[in-house]
Amino acid sequence: MAVASDIYRILPSNGVDGEIGARAAYRDEGSLTLTANFDRGTLTGTDGVVDFDGTISGQDISGTVDVDYYSSRYTFYRDETLTAEMQGEIGSTGVIGEFKGTDGEQVSVAGGFTGTAN
């Protein structure tokens, strides 16, 4: 099992001009620990804002990242979650990847992560 400390960036968009991050409701960055279990082929980690649920196949990683965000889409504010597709690569020294997704209406999210093995 390998553990990596990672930095991620989240750039949501309200979809007004179609560019991710252009009219962002917020930008976020942080660090978390991703746990790679090569025997089971899993890559997981969470910090309360993002929740990584990935699979490892050789050096390729894929899966989803659930991103929590604060929405004002309705007449009241509320917490919502958007599921983004994740892809990247992993090896014995670290991990690198990206995630992106949209709700198909007005919210998009994109981010990246990188880290070194502990």
Taking residues 73-82, what's their average pLDDT? 62
What is the Cα–Cα distance from 21 to 29, expressed in whole angstroms? Answer: 13
Tokens of 12: 């949501």
Give pTM, 2 decimals: 0.76
> Could you count the other beta carbons within 10 Å of the beta carbon of residue 81?
11
Tokens of 52: 């990584």
Please tell me which residue, 3 or 109, carries the higher pLDDT value: 109
pLDDT at residue 116, as a whole number? 85
- Whether 12 shows a pLDDT value over 90: the answer reads no
Average pLDDT over the chain reads 76
pLDDT (tens digit per residue) in 31-75 = 888 999 999 999 999 887 889 999 999 999 999 999 887 665 554
Sequence-distant (≥ 6) Cβ neighbours of residue 40 within 8 angstroms: none
